[in-house]
Structure formats: structure tokens, C-alpha cells
């Protein structure tokens, strides 16, 4: 990154100078498609957003006020870019960010990091995050082990017994998951999990004892600075499930609200609060849980808006992305839900660079057909082809209750899926 060259280029396009005095500068590290709503929300609230990523023409580079191409994994290059930008907030939107550079950000005392340094470090370390939850915070979790080879996984199974759930340490919701019930399942479960992590990922899996649960649930918690200190605001719980067809296409279904008993909801809020406060900083935390009656088990946390937040684009007065923007800037938050809703998020496993089908359907015609469903909406994502697992489309629907919304979202997804035969 050449600072002077970047400044000259930005000045020529008129994007270096803020539109008005006193705009709060926010540097977003990572410019993936999912952060589009966050950039828009920050800009509506008067912030100047600089999208920083490792490649040119990233999804947000034409939406943000300014853009920079920086190797996010290079400590020196990233630190130099942040020093030059002098943002009020640095928002981590990628798991490949150099953490030493982030530590230097915190040490300046001027720039605030979102999430805090501990959350930023653990976002790229799911193993450390799970150990924090179980060992340091004492949160209820299913008994778990990590394995770095088939032999280690076999040893875990020999110690813990069957059945066990095996899944990749990193990956999309539900991707690469297997249930082992006998010795012959061990090697296929290992291969499935490692393959789902994508090329170049460290081969490591999480193995858990099977616990009985009614649903997987995400509880969104906005951590902000309130009048009397740090404050947490909770959204209505979101239920979700994942399914993967034989061709590798993954669909994640989400619905809000997920009905929980008062005891379970209190327990979920307690878990979310302890995790958010342990990770520190401000922003939106998506705490992932298994719920069975009154019992709640912690399974993970997203330290920024992720898949579950997409549903809130239609179910809440302020979406998860708007809540994130307000939490970053220290503004008042309203987590109220305005309508029951559901979503189907469609992923692809087509290898990057693989040729598209020859007879690709007309996207506008397909979307028009999908939107014939009452109270529906659809999103067709653009993306950078380097991503091994890509979000393709999102089917959204609201309704008088969750059952109707889920049925409508399913109808929209069935039509929308014609775009990716």
C-alpha cells in the first residue's frame, strides 16, 4: 500500500474529502458482500466509511466513501494503513486480519477496535473461543474435543464413545457435519469436515457428544456504551437449521421468533451477556445455542453480523446491521421485532472459476416469479470468486405467524433456486 499514491487517486475521484465537517471515520477491514448493509447503515448515521481489503474491486469498494487495497494479513502494511487513515473506529470484518496490527490500534488510545482485541483475536480461533466459554466462563456446552488427524479423532471416539457429532472448526452453519455411530463412520466424517473447511484451511475438527435438543438458536446481543456504562440489548431469538443436498448445495433456514420458555430465554441471555462481556468491545454478537426445553447449551459466537442478521432485514425495526452501526457509534438501540419472519439462505459448492451452466435463466424473470409470494423479498448476491463457499441467494418472507412465514420463504427459495441449477 502506497499512502501517497492512494491519497492522490482518492482525491482525483472526489472521495478523499468528507462531505461535511465532523464526520466520524470508520475503517472496515474486509469488504465482503455481507457487510453491504452495515456500510449503508453507518453512512446514514453520518459516518465516513473506508472499505479496506486485500484485493481491488471488492464488493464494497464502490459503496463505501473510500477504498484501499491492503494485505490484511500483513502486520506492517495494515498498521501503516491504519496510521495513515486515523479512523475513530476500526471494525474487523474478516477472519484473516493481522492481530498484532490490531493491538497497535488499541495502544494508540485514539482509535477504538470493534469488537475488542480479545474478540478480534478469538474470531479467527474457534477452538480458543470454545475453550474460553467452557473452561474460563463455565458455560454449559456439550462435551467436546478437538482432533487434528483421523488417528486423533479415532482416539477421541474410543475415549468418549458413540454417538458423536463431527464438524469443521471453521465453515458455514451446518456445513460438513456428520454423526458418527460406529468405527466405520470415523474416516468419512473426518474427510467430510476437512473438505468443508475449504482449500488451505488447517485440517482440524470439533467432535461433540450428542446432546438432545429441540433447535439450534441464535441470540443477537448488541453491546454498546450506555448512560450508566456498558449495556446489552437482545433481539428475539432466531431458530435455524441446515441441510445439504448430495450435490453439495447448502441451505440454511432461519425463523424469528423461536419460541423459548421464560427459563430458557433467561439462561440464553445470561450466556450471551457473559460471552459479550468476556470478549469486550462494542458491536453485535450472535451467540449460537442448542435449546432443549429449559436447557441451553453454548456452541459458538459470531462477533459481527452474520447469516442470522439477514433475516432481521425484514423482521425488526432496526436490522442486525443497523444495530451494529448504532452500537459502534454509541447511539440508542431499539431491538424490537415488528413481524414474524423466515428466510432461506442458499449457498453453493461449485468450485471457484468453474464455468456457469450454459443455459443460465434470466435472473429478473426468476426473481419476479419468486416475488409473487405474499410478503416476500429476495436477494441475489454478488461475490468475489475466490470464496470457496459462496452465498448465492436469500429468500425472505413475513407473515402473521412463524409457520406461515416459513412456508412462504420455502416457496420463494424453490423458485429462486432455478437461478443455480
Inter-residue contact 1 to 80 (CB < 8 Å): yes
What pLDDT is stored for residue 356 in this prediction? 57
User: Could you give the CA distance from residue 109 to residue 225 in angstroms, rounded to a whole number?
Assistant: 17
Dist. CA 56–CA 298, nearest whole Å: 38
Where do the DSSP E strands lie in 148-228? Answer: 164-168, 178-180, 205-209, 215-226
- Name which CATH class applies to 143-209: alpha beta
pLDDT for the residue numbered 201: 66
What is the topology classification, in CATH, of domain 215-419? Answer: D-amino Acid Aminotransferase; Chain A, domain 1 (3.30.470)
* Domain range list for the chain: 25-114, 143-209, 215-419
pLDDT tens, the chain, 421 aa long: 544 444 433 333 333 344 445 789 999 998 888 889 999 999 999 999 999 998 887 778 889 999 999 999 999 999 999 999 999 999 998 878 888 888 888 887 888 999 888 888 887 777 888 899 999 999 999 999 999 999 999 999 999 999 999 988 876 556 778 899 999 999 999 998 888 766 666 788 999 999 999 999 999 999 887 666 678 999 999 999 988 777 667 889 999 999 999 999 999 999 999 999 898 878 999 999 999 999 999 998 988 888 999 999 999 999 999 999 999 999 999 999 999 999 999 987 655 555 555 666 788 999 999 999 999 999 998 765 445 567 889 999 999 999 999 999 999 999 999 988 7
- Check if the beta carbon of residue 14 is closer than 8 Å to that of residue 79: no
State the DSSP H helix or E strand holding residue 345, giving kind and residue range, or none if neither. Answer: strand 341-348
Measured torsion, CA atoms of residues 164, 170, 176, 181, in degrees rounded to the nearest 10? -10
Cα 336 to chain centroid distance, Å, stands at 21
In the prediction, which pLDDT does 227 show? 63
pLDDT for position 200: 60
**72, 78 in Cβ contact below 8 A?**
yes
Burial class from Cβ neighbours inside 10 Å (0-12, 13-18, 19+) for residue 246 reads exposed
Give 414-417's long-range contacts (Cβ < 8 A, gap of 24+).
415/366, 415/369, 415/370, 415/373, 416/346, 416/366, 416/367, 416/370, 416/378, 416/380, 417/346, 417/393
Topology given in CATH for the domain delimited by 25-114: Rossmann fold (3.40.50)
Which residue from 330, 156, 372, 347 is spatially nearest to 252, judged by alpha carbons? 347
Give the pLDDT confidence score for residue 11 in this predicted structure. 34
pLDDT of the residue at 228? 67
Closest by CA to 300, choosing from 272, 324, 280, 322, is: 272
β-pair partners for 380: 393
- Nearest Cα residue to 239 out of 322, 142, 167, 342: 342
The x, y and z cell numbers of residue 346, run together, are 442458499
Amino acid at each position: 500500500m502506497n499512502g501517497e499514491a492512494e491519497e492522490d487517486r482518492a482525491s482525483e475521484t472526489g472521495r478523499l474529502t468528507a462531505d461535511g465537517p465532523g464526520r466520524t471515520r470508520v475503517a472496515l477491514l474486509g469488504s465482503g458482500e455481507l457487510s453491504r448493509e452495515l456500510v449503508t447503515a453507518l453512512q446514514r448515521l453520518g459516518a465516513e466509511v473506508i472499505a479496506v481489503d486485500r484485493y481491488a474491486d471488492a464488493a464494497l469498494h464502490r459503496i463505501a466513501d473510500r477504498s484501499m487495497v491492503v494485505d490484511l494479513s500483513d502486520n506492517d502494511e495494515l498498521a501503516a494503513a491504519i496510521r495513515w487513515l486515523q479512523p475513530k473506529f476500526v471494525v474487523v470484518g474478516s477472519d484473516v486480519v493481522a492481530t498484532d496490527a490490531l493491538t497497535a490500534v488499541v495502544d494508540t488510545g485514539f482509535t477504538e477496535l470493534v469488537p475488542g482485541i480479545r474478540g478480534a483475536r478469538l474470531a479467527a480461533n474457534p477452538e480458543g473461543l470454545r475453550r474460553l466459554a467452557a473452561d474460563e466462563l463455565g458455560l454449559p456446552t456439550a462435551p467436546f474435543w478437538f482432533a487434528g488427524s483421523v488417528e486423533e479423532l479415532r482416539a477421541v471416539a474410543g475415549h468418549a464413545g458413540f454417538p458423536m457429532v463431527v464438524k469443521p472448526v471453521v465453515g458455514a452453519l451446518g456445513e460438513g457435519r456428520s454423526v458418527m455411530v460406529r468405527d466405520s463412520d470415523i474416516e468419512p466424517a473426518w474427510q467430510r469436515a476437512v473438505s468443508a473447511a475449504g482449500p488451505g484451511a488447517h485440517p482440524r475438527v470439533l467432535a461433540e457428544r450428542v446432546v438432545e435438543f429441540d433447535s439450534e438458536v441464535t441470540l443477537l446481543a448488541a453491546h454498546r456504551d450506555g448512560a450508566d456504562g456498558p449495556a446489552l440489548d437482545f433481539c428475539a431469538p432466531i431458530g435455524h437449521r441446515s441441510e445439504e443436498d448430495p450435490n453439495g448445495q447448502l441451505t440454511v433456514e432461519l425463523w424469528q421468533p423461536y419460541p423459548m420458555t421464560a427459563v430458557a430465554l433467561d439462561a440464553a441471555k445470561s450466556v450471551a451477556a457473559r460471552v459479550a462481556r468476556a470478549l469486550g468491545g462494542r458491536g453485535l454478537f450472535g451467540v449460537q445455542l442448542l435449546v432443549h426445553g429449559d436447557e441451553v447449551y453454548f456452541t459458538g459466537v459470531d462477533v459481527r453480523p452474520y447469516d442470522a442478521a439477514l433475516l432481521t432485514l425484514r423482521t425488526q425495526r432496526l436490522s442486525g446491521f443497523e444495530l451494529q452501526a448504532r452500537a459502534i457509534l454509541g447511539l440508542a438501540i431499539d431491538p424490537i421485532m415488528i413481524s414474524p419472519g423466515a428466510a432461506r439462505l442458499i449457498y453453493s459448492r461449485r468450485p471457484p472459476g468453474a464455468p456457469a451452466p450454459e443455459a443460465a435463466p434470466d435472473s429478473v424473470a426468476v426473481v419476479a416469479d419468486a416475488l409473487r409470494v405474499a410478503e416476500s423479498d429476495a436477494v441475489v448476491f454478488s461475490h468475489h470468486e475466490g470464496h470457496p463457499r459462496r452465498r448465492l441467494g436469500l429468500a425472505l418472507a413475513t407473515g402473521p405467524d412463524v409457520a406461515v412465514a416459513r412456508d412462504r420463504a420455502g416457496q420463494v427459495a424453490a423458485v429462486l433456486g432455478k437461478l443455480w441449477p
